[in-house]
Amino acid sequence: MVLVYFRGYGDWLTDDNDGRPVHLIKTEDRSTYIESSFFVGYRFYRPCDLVEGVFRLTDSDERLYKIAGSLSNIKISQLLPCRHYDSAFTKMVDKGLLNIDVLDHCYFKIVTNRYNNARLRRRPELAREGKFDYDLILYKTITDETESIYGLITESVFNSSPIRARNPIIRQTESLEILHDALDEIEKETGKTPCAVDLANYILSPSFKHRNIKESSGREIRLSSGKIVTKKNIESIYRGTIFKKRQINTE
């Protein structure tokens, strides 16, 4: 197994039953001028979209690396998650952006330009303007004998707590009560904690009912107090208020 350290931008994907790629996380168009066709095909990556951490090479890239002897001698466009304590995947799980269940079923596609391929074909001069620099360096080559030495986390440890510990409630609010009650429902039914995106979709779905929700449009909810709560608000409370950061002991 060859571990690499990556710092840059990209999308997390999985394949459906027909082998077609499906985005788990995709950076959408965020231009303030989205109504203008001039910006079609443009993806604005914010600093918080930066992905940084340890990945492992795909089997095919690992074979090429062993032949070439250097990462700079091969073109790498796809990386796989790993159980390293500094894994980029683990960081995404801690932020509530990915479910731990997809560890063995997802991959990361490196994005090297903010413009998509169709736009670059029409306007090749944009290639330089939209280029993303990224870092990809060799971290460690792991064998079965040295696996535990370099911080790889065993599956039993990595998946030992499907129900995540929550922070104590210091000040109860309508929004916080809704999120906790929704988490209770999902965890009771599935036996595991959902990610922030899944929780938000659950709360915004027509089937979810709560005494503090006056009305729901599917995109936002209006509370009894009149406050509007959006999907972004729900994800923010999930990541910033409810959960403790995952602590992993690798000793």
Write the pLDDT tens digit of every residue in 119-177: 888 888 888 887 888 899 988 776 554 444 444 544 443 444 577 888 888 788 999 99
Same domain, 143 and 200: no
Q: Which of 158, 183, 211 is the last residue of a domain?
A: 158
| Residue 245 pLDDT level (bands cut at 50, 70, 90) | low
Residue 195 included in any domain: yes
- pLDDT mean across residues, the chain: 79
Strand 21-25 and strand 135-141: the pairing is unpaired
Q: Does residue 169 belong to any structural domain of this protein? A: no
Q: Which domain holds residue 73?
A: 2-158
Residue 166 within a domain: no
Q: Is 209 within the bounds of a domain? A: yes
For residues 237 and 209, membership in a common domain is answered with yes
Q: Which of 130, 158, 186 is the last residue of a domain?
A: 158
By C-alpha distance, which of 97, 130, 93 is closest to 111? 130
**Which of the listed residues 113, 130, 158 is the one where a domain comes to its end?**
158
Average pLDDT for 226-247: 80
Q: CB neighbours (10 Å) of residue 59?
A: 11
Residues 89 and 136 in one domain: yes
137 and 201 assigned to the same domain: no
How far apart CA 28 and CA 8 sit, in angstroms, is 16
Q: Considering the domain boundaries, does residue 138 fall inside one?
A: yes
Of 201, 204, 203, 182, the closest CA to residue 193 belongs to 182
- Regarding whether 103 and 15 lie in a shared domain, the answer is yes
Same domain, 190 and 153: no
Could you report the per-residue pLDDT of 137-149, keeping only the tens digit for each?
988 776 554 444 4
- Strands of 78-79's sheet, edge to edge? 21-25, 10-15, 106-110, 78-79
Claim to verify: residue 106 and residue 196 sit in the same structural domain: no
| Same domain (yes/no): 89, 200 | no
Is the residue at 83 inside a domain?
A: yes
Q: Do 152 and 184 fall into the same domain?
A: no
Q: Are residues 68 and 138 in the same domain?
A: yes
Assess if residue 250 is contained within a domain.
no
Identify the CA nearest to 57 among candidates 89, 86, 82, 27.
82
Provide the token pair at 43. 């993806």
Q: How many domains does the chain divide into?
A: 2
Looking at the fold, whether 137 and 18 belong to one and the same domain comes out as yes
How confident is the model at residue 209, as a pLDDT?
A: 93
CA distances from 125 to 5, 39, 95, 213 (A): 30, 15, 37, 51
Model pTM score: 0.60
Pair (128, 188) in one structural domain: no
